[in-house]
Amino acid sequence: MSFKDFITGLWEQNPIFRIILGMCPTLAVTNMAINGLFMGTAVIFVLISSCIIVSLIRNLVPSKIRIPVYVIIIATVTTIADYILAAYYPSIHKVLGIYLPLVIVNCIILGRIEAFAKTHSVGRSFLDAFGIGLGFTWGLILLGSIRELIGFGTIFGLTVLGSWYPQVLIMKLPTGAFITLGLLIASLNLIKKRKLPTE
């Protein structure tokens, strides 16, 4: 177990900005910061549970059929989470409702299982999943905040720019997500490039 497994997902291997995985939810749900937070939470939960289960059974699954087995696990975990939320936390379920089923097809989860959990211990898989999940979440929230600020003049629903602010429709639509994401990745690459020589 090492702390590095956790840190790497936050920055070095950030799914949104560095490995560019899970683009469909990234582009679809980030028109408001709160949506990013909800989507991120759902992904963190499913990612951690699936990675722990896969890591536990990693020596039992023949490699030829590992993908169907992983998909069964992911779908089961997601559905169970859906039922439990609906039964015990109906108000949260109402908000997360649309995002939870989307998590099943999120390639970050299958990606982390393939790249990490299937060959590493439970503890390290947990740290990796948690780090990647948090990395995904902060990326979504950053994107969502920028788009919400320009699109609606608010952040997390709080008015930042007053009623004088002309809302920019394009930032509410998927087009705005592509533009913002492109500019963000470009500027993060620029920061990384500047850092390199001193390292």
Residues of this chain that bind another protein (CB under 8 A): 29, 31-32, 35, 60-62, 64-65, 68-69, 72-73, 75-76, 79-80, 83-84, 86-88, 90, 98, 148, 151-152, 169, 172-173
Do residues 31 and 170 lie in contact, with contact meaning Cβ atoms separated by under 8 Å? no
By beta-carbon proximity to another protein, the closer residue of 67 and 190 is 67
Distance CA 182, CA 146 (A): 13
By beta-carbon proximity to another protein, the closer residue of 60 and 186 is 60
By beta-carbon proximity to another protein, the closer residue of 119 and 189 is 119
Q: How far is the CB of 157 from another protein (least distance, A)?
A: 11
Do residues 192 and 198 lie in contact, with contact meaning Cβ atoms separated by under 8 Å? no
Do residues 4 and 130 lie in contact, with contact meaning Cβ atoms separated by under 8 Å? no
Side chain identity, residue 166: P
Q: How far is the CB of 76 from another protein (least distance, A)?
A: 4
Return the structure tokens found at 86.
């609906």
Q: What distances in angstroms separate CA 115 from CA 7, 53, 83, 109, 153, one per listed residue?
A: 16, 15, 29, 10, 39
By beta-carbon proximity to another protein, the closer residue of 35 and 180 is 35
Instruction: Enumerate the β-bridge partners of residue 48.
Output: none
By beta-carbon proximity to another protein, the closer residue of 172 and 192 is 172
Q: How far is the CB of 196 from another protein (least distance, A)?
A: 38
DSSP β-ladder status, 158-159 and 154-155? antiparallel
Q: How far is the CB of 186 from another protein (least distance, A)?
A: 25
Q: How far is the CB of 53 from another protein (least distance, A)?
A: 10
